[in-house]
Amino acid sequence: MKYDAIIVGAGFSGAVIAERLASQLDYKVLIIEKRNHIAGNCYDYAHTSGIRVHKYGPHLFHTNNESVWKYLSLFTEWSPYRHKVRGYVDEKYIPIPFNLKSLALTLPDSYQNLKRLLIDTYGYGSRVSICELLEAKNPELNKLANFVYEKVFVGYTVKQWGVAPEQLSQEVLKRVPVVISEEDGYFADKYQAMPIGGYSSLIESILSHKNIEIELDQDAHSLIEFDVKARKAKFSQKAGVIIYTGAVDELFSFKFGELDYRSLTFKLEEHSQEFYQPATTVNYPGNEKHTRTTEFKYIDNTSSDSTVIVKEFPQQYKRGVEGRDIPYYPLFDKKNEAIYLDYANHAKQFDNLFLAGRLAKFKYFNMDEAVQNALETSEQIIKQATA
């Protein structure tokens, strides 16, 4: 059978592009997914306790992007949810990101002076990165930055990325804020909510168009060929365009080398108590082997006598090694950025090939950013098709 588009991957990126092409161009679309389920890393399911569990770690939707919010709202209703995170620091649970409440708990003797200094310098309600505080002229602000760096950031980061912090891009450090208020929500976005019924249900709704077919448990890599002379990517089942959302180095058989990723393992636990911890997620920047623990009952708001948590253990990604072969986070450094650029430039040779999503773009996307990227990629394909 001939399809107008073949999409590799049934996560957010692949699903959104499939829906746009099916509804806007009346394309017949085939999605190839190597897992036995849709929704990618956002996949969730009902645990035996009745609590909805995120199989690949917690996914919290938040955005300021009106177009993304309106688009997804076509396929789901929402339940308001504001994510809260605590850090286990010096045997205390403190709000993360570090804020004025955190300051009072960790530096009570300096609290009043530092609070006044922060408000006078940056204004109440502002968010200041550790980088900004380190570069401030006031030495007390530099000391505070170093304190947050040592107590909250460095231990977590070493475990998360498996490298010394100085080896990481400055972009990572810039993502670590100090919030100058008592507001202890993790995100500050206008829209913060969970899809009613879960992410799997949302993706299923997006993929419900009559022109979309899905094949699970199938690896597409052996089915794709590249004709440099014709500037075309070819699939064993003919297609006008191919959209790829997986790891880009794997797509091209690692011809420029392997990209580095971090992987995760998860330990799921059920506890016979109402709640296990004081917030949805607790970060552990200390000597514990895991980085964080998430309690899904806070997210799902299910009535249950027990509760379910998951502990996350970061590890090095190893292709082909079971339990370590899911690439969750691209590892950003100069070596990997150079390798990715080779792949991105190589992909441009093929007029009908489009890369989308975190792994194909080798870029960290939040969910709303992944949806926005998918919408933009769809528009590019639509313009090309209607030109």
User: Domain check: are 33 and 144 in the same one?
Assistant: no
What is the pLDDT, as a whole number, of residue 172? 67
CA dihedral 84, 89, 90, 91 (to 10 degrees): 40
User: Domain check: are 215 and 170 in the same one?
Assistant: no
User: Domain check: are 104 and 165 in the same one?
Assistant: yes
What is the pLDDT, as a whole number, of residue 173? 67
Domain contains 246: yes
For the chain, how many structural domains are there in total? 2
User: Domain check: are 18 and 129 in the same one?
Assistant: no
User: Domain check: are 152 and 8 in the same one?
Assistant: no
What is the pLDDT, as a whole number, of residue 332? 84
Structural domain ending residue among the three candidates 162, 179, 196: 179
What is the pLDDT, as a whole number, of residue 115? 97
What is the pLDDT, as a whole number, of residue 168? 61
User: Domain check: are 30 and 168 in the same one?
Assistant: no
pLDDT in tens, 175-226: 788 999 999 999 989 999 999 999 999 999 999 999 999 999 999 999 999 9
User: Domain check: are 29 and 168 in the same one?
Assistant: no
What is the pLDDT, as a whole number, of residue 42? 98
What is the pLDDT, as a whole number, of residue 122? 97
Domain contains 56: no
**Per-run averaged pLDDT (10 residues), the chain, 387 residues:** 94 98 98 98 96 97 98 98 97 97 97 97 94 93 94 91 73 80 94 98 98 97 92 87 97 97 97 97 97 96 92 96 94 92 98 97 96 98 94
User: Domain check: are 23 and 158 in the same one?
Assistant: no
User: Domain check: are 211 and 248 in the same one?
Assistant: yes
Domain contains 310: no
Domain contains 173: yes
Outline where DSSP puts E strands in 231-296.
Answer: 232-235, 239-244, 261-271, 281-283, 292-295
Domain contains 371: yes
What is the pLDDT, as a whole number, of residue 124? 97
User: Domain check: are 252 and 362 in the same one?
Assistant: yes
Task: Report the distance separating Cα 76 and Cα 203, nearest Å.
Answer: 9
Amino acid at 305: D
What is the pLDDT, as a whole number, of residue 239? 79
Task: For residue 90, give every residue at least 6 positions away whose Cβ sits within 8 Å of its Cβ, in sequence order, or none.
Answer: 106, 151
Residue with tokens 């990629």, as numbered in its chain: 377
Range of the domain at 147: 95-179
Domain contains 65: no
What is the pLDDT, as a whole number, of residue 302? 83
Domain contains 12: yes
Domain contains 350: yes
What is the pLDDT, as a whole number, of residue 169? 62
**CATH number reported for the structural domain that contains residue 358 in this entry:** 3.40.50.720
User: Domain check: are 135 and 225 in the same one?
Assistant: no
Which has the closest alpha carbon to 105: 184, 165, 37, 200? 184
User: Domain check: are 241 and 347 in the same one?
Assistant: yes
Cα angle 196, 185, 81; round to 5: 10
> pTM for this one?
0.94
